[in-house]
Structures are given as C-alpha cells and as structure tokens.
Amino acid sequence: MKLLFVEDEPVLLQEMQLYFRSLNYTCEHAANFADAAEKVNSYVYDIVVLDITLPDGNGIDLIRDIRTQHLETGILILSARDSLQDKLNGLNMGADDYLTKPFYVEELNARINALYRRKVLKGSSKVVFDDFTIDPESKQLFFDQKALPLTRKEFELLVYFVVNKNRVLSKSSIAEHLWGDHVDQFDNFDTLYAHIKNLRKKLINVSGKDYVKSVYGMGYKFALE
Amino acid sequence: MKLLTKTSLNQFWLSIIIIVITGIMLLFLLQREVSVEIEEQLEMQAAAIVHEIEAGRPVNSPMIQIISDDSPMLDQPRIFRDTLIFDQLQQKTEGYYYLTDNYIIKGQEYRIRVMTSHIGIDGYSKAIIYIFIIMALLLIICGSVMNYFVNRKIWQPFLTNLQRLKSYSVSSTEQLTLDRSNIHEFEEMNTVLIELAEKARAEYIALKEFTANASHEIQTPLSIIQSGLESISQFELQPEIAGYVVNAKEATSRLSKVNKSLLLLAKLENNDFPDKKKVDLSALLNEQIDRAEDLFSFKGLQLERQITYKEVYSSLFLLEVLISNLLSNIVAHAGQGTQVKISLTDAAMTFENGGEALTFPEGQLFARFGKGTDSNKGNGLGLSIVKQICLANGWEVKYHYADKMHVFKVFF
C-alpha cells in the first residue's frame, strides 16, 4: 500500500510514518501545500492522508488534483478543525473520509485499510491470519472455511485488532472505534471487557490459541507471529 | 396593539370628542341666536299692539292676551320664556315662546302677552343638526380610513425591513439589505441598522475564526501528546510507569472531549450548522440504539422501543450528537437491571430510564458542568449540549421524575 501524508506538524508526521512503516506500507510525506501539489501531480498513491490546514494553502484544493491524477486514490481528510463546513466541503469535493484530531493512529489505520479495500481492491479482499479468514464485506469470520458466528461488535473488534496486530491498543481507542467519539467511553470499559472476553473464548474454542493479550493497565494486544 | 391600529384609534376617538363638543356648542349657539331673534320679534309684535291700543283699535287674537285691570299681576316683572301649550286640534302639546311685559298707554297700565310657536325654528335646527351629524360621521369614517391607508403606505417599507431583520442572521454570508424609504427617520434608522449588522457580522466572522484557530492550536498539541503516549505504551513498562501513562492518557482523552464539547457549544450558540436537510429521525434513532444495544444489555437494562416514522429538518450531525448524548446519559445513570423506554411520536421523542431520584436540584441538570460529583461519568456537558441542540432546532427538552423513572422528553 502506497501512502502519502500531507501534514505540517513534524512530530505527528513522524509518529504516523513510524507506525505505518512498521506495517510495511510505503510512506511518503509532504509538509506544505506546494510540496504536496508536486507529489500528487507526479505520482500515484493508494491513499492520501490530508491535513487541510497547511501553512501555504488549504488542503481541500488538493483534492481535485488528486482526483484528476488518479480516480481510485482514497482521500482521508485529517483536520484539527472540527468544523462541519470543512467536513462538508471536503466530502463534497470528493474526499472519502474525515477524521478529527486528536485521533488514534490505530483508528487512522483501520480507516485507511477500509478505504483501501473499498477503493483499490474494490471490496473483493479478504483478511487472513493463521487459519482464519475475515470477509469484511459480508461481515463474516471463517475458520478452515467454516463460518464462525460473531456478534456485530465482536466482528468490528476483531477487524480492529487484526488490522492493528501486535500493537497495544488502549481501551479508549477501542471503545471510540466501537461506539463512536460522542460517547463517553469510561462508562463502557466493562462492556468492552465483556466483548473481548467473548471474542477471545470463541477464537480459543476453534483454534486453541489465545490471540488477545491483556497488557497491564494499558489495554489489549492482538498477538500474531 | 399595532402602531397603525393605535394611531387610527387615537384619531378616531379624538375626532369623535371634537365633533361632539362642537356639535353641542352649535346647538346651544343656534338656540341662543334663535331665542334672541324671537324675543326681538315678540317685542316688535308687542310694540305693534301698543300702537293699535293707542290708536283705539281693539286687538284680539288667541296668541295675544291683554290685561288692563288693576290686578296684582301688573306688579310682576317682564317675562320671556318658552312653554308648552295643549293644542286641541292636534291633540298634543306644542312648544311656544312668550313675552309678557307692562306698558303704560294713555295713562293706563296694561300687561300684554304675545306668543309664537317653536315649529318653524325646530324644523331648521333639525335640518341643521342632521346635516351636521352626517358631515361628522363622514369626516370621522373617511378620516380614519384615509389615515389608515396613508399610514400603511408610509410604514410599509419599515415593516418589510423588520421582516428582513427578523430573518437575518449574522452568520449569513450575505450583507443585510433594506428597502429605501423617503421618510428621513426611517432612512436614518436603515443606515444605522445596516452598519450595526455589518459590524456584528465582522465580529462574528472574527469570533468564528478565533474559535477555529483556538481549536486547531489546542487539538494539534493534544494529538501529539496522545500519539506520544500511545507510542510509549508499546514498550514494556514497569507497572509504576504504566500507571502514570494510563492516567496521562485518560486525562488527555478527557481534555480533548471537553475541548470538543465546548467548541460544539460555541458553535451551537452561533447556530453555525450549514448541513440542514430532511432527516428520517426514526431510522437514525433505531440505528443509534442498535449501536448502543450491547451497552444496555451488559447493564441488564430492559429496553423497550416504540418508534413511529418521523421526519425532521435539521442537521444530521446535531441529531447524532443529541441522540447519542441522551443514550450515553441512560447508560451512565440507569440503575442496574432497570427498565428503559425510548419512544418517538410525531410530537415528541422520549427517553425514560429507572433509577434513584436526583441528589441535586433539577435546574442544574442542563447547566454546564452542572453536577460534577461523579467525575467518572462524563464531563458534565452532555445535557447542556442536548439543551442547546434543542434550542438551535426550535425544540424544547423537559425533564421530570415519576414512578422511579427519569424522563427526558424532546418536544418538536
């Protein structure tokens, strides 16, 4: 997967690149509008992560350039401004998704993956780990070609875990993914715990492996070799 | 009362008062003039009688009475007044004027009385009064009607401009335009209003930019802190350090939420929501409940839905926030295993949940940071956001506690 990060905040840029490189994605970056414009007009990217407040221009103006260059590129707007007008403008101009800062890099990864499957792989892809196969489109999990029934929340949880495998995910990050960011997550940690327990049990029952590790105080980690 | 009605009414009553006073004056003056004329006429008649008596010609007429004896009546003074006399021919009493006076003719005293009937004068005064009343009525009615229409024409631009001002919002992208008027005062007011609106709009834009910039300036460092903490979490940490990191993460997350909520409240006060459209509220409500259903069932809440089709014209984003805030409120505060009822009708959306009564005054429920006794349950902004969203939509949210149920009702 080839990614372009357009972001003027160096620390954030570094954090994102560090994580996405560890997942073996090809990452490039642009720290300003001019640089970004040059890059999107010269190369084709699978996904562009676009901060719209740039020192020398509005990132929204880049969307048309990206679209004329390559129609299938997924565009995800990243903005510190939780401004509805910006969001509407961005989505009207042809952006595919919108994420507000501060965000969890795992959430960004989950969205990038969903976007990649939808736009680049045209929804035909399956996510495979060990003997498990996840079909994101039909929202089903298979173990050795046999369907393993999961509840909707368990399925969402599993996809989030697998996409962000081997990373410690904080409870807030998972709760925000499952219930949205309007909800106060502190009330929901118990429910989250129950979902994780059930998912864990279901996976152990068929495979005998315990994938979900609890990391003391921090959260959970989906361990895959 | 409308200004136009008020001025018209004032004019109407004033006209009536003036006309009644002048009418009464007219009547009195007329009567006085007439009686002076009649007195003169009767005096002339009496003088003619005296002349006839002097000439030795007998005078005899039913309207004349002459007394010449040495009766005590001769000592009485001159009298001029009106009286009623019974007319046997017409079988009714009629008004007469009479004059009685004493005269000395050829050394002998006479008391002579002459009379004349009212009738001729009555006819005239009646005609005059009728004409006067008709004239007065015409004057009052036509005057009031004309006043009404003239005023309406003069006030028309003012009323049009008032309507425009009512519908004008400083958040609109267009300048305020007002109809011109040829009345100096109105024109002056228009100039002042346009200047004022322009100033308010400029301030509003500045405030909006400030809010957006402040948000950017706060959210970006928060992003850096948050992603830094997440990166630290990836290392194997001593439990003590892990504890600090977890606390810092929770605090960051809380700070970010408070910041977002405060920005949302600021935007709600500016009514800054451009994405208004028709939204199927029933579908949205069902969807949000489905999403939170696991949270309900984990707490053992018995959920009962009664949702009928309802469409509203509003911002989808705001509706999502409204519903999810009310649902989170239930999840956070409903007693374990209690009943939860959510219903939607054409008139209202109701969220009910069981639980103990409030430990603080009801009035604080919708206030910002109103409760804050239990800091683990939300940031105390959720319900004030609910209230503001309802206000922005012209709805009303009400709370009451009955039969151990907390009831939040949003009236459309």
pLDDT of B87-104, one tens digit each? 777 777 777 888 888 888
Record: contact A172-B231, CB cut-off 8 A: no
Tens of pLDDT, residues B269-318: 766 677 788 889 999 999 888 888 888 888 888 888 888 998 888 888 88
CA-CA-CA-CA torsion sign (B82, B88, B89, B91): positive
Is the minimum CB–CB distance between B298 and chain A shorter than 8 Å? Answer: yes
Amino acid symbol at B44:
M
Residues in B 225-284 with any Cβ partner in A closer than 8 A: 225-228, 230-231, 233-234, 237, 239, 242-243, 245-246, 249-250, 252-253, 256-257, 260, 263-264, 267, 272-275
In angstroms, the CA A104 to CA A169 distance is 9
pLDDT at site A184: 64
Distance of CA B134 to the CA centre of its chain: 37
Other residues' Cβ atoms within 10 Å of the Cβ of residue A75: 26
Can you give the pTM of this predicted structure?
0.65
pLDDT at site A111: 92
Residues of A in contact with B215 (CB under 8 A): 80-83
Residues in B 130-169 with any Cβ partner in A closer than 8 A: none
pLDDT at site A112: 92
Please report, for chain B, the start and end positions of each structural domain, with discontinuous segments joined by +: 3-140, 184-269, 276-411
Tens of pLDDT, residues A95-152: 888 888 888 888 999 999 888 888 877 767 788 888 888 888 888 888 888 888 888 8
Residues of A in contact with B379 (CB under 8 A): 184
**B351 close to A213: Cβ distance less than 8 angstroms:** no
Tens of pLDDT, residues B31-45: 888 888 888 888 888
Second CATH level (architecture) for the domain A2-120 = 3-Layer(aba) Sandwich (3.40)
Task: Provide the pLDDT confidence category of residue A69 given band limits of 50, 70 and 90.
Answer: confident
Residue B376 has pLDDT above 60, yes or no: no
Tens of pLDDT, residues A166-214: 888 888 888 888 887 766 656 678 888 888 999 999 888 888 888 888 8
Residue B71 has pLDDT above 70, yes or no: no
Domain with CATH 3.40.50.2300 in chain A: 2-120
Q: What is the ipTM of this complex?
A: 0.81
Determine the average pLDDT of the residues in B235-254.
Answer: 86
Residues of A in contact with B298 (CB under 8 A): 190-191, 194
Per-residue buried b or exposed e for B56-78, using 16+ beta carbons within 10 Å of the residue's own CB: eeeeeeeeeebeeeeeeeeeeee
Second CATH level (architecture) for the domain A127-222 = Orthogonal Bundle (1.10)
Second CATH level (architecture) for the domain B276-411 = 2-Layer Sandwich (3.30)
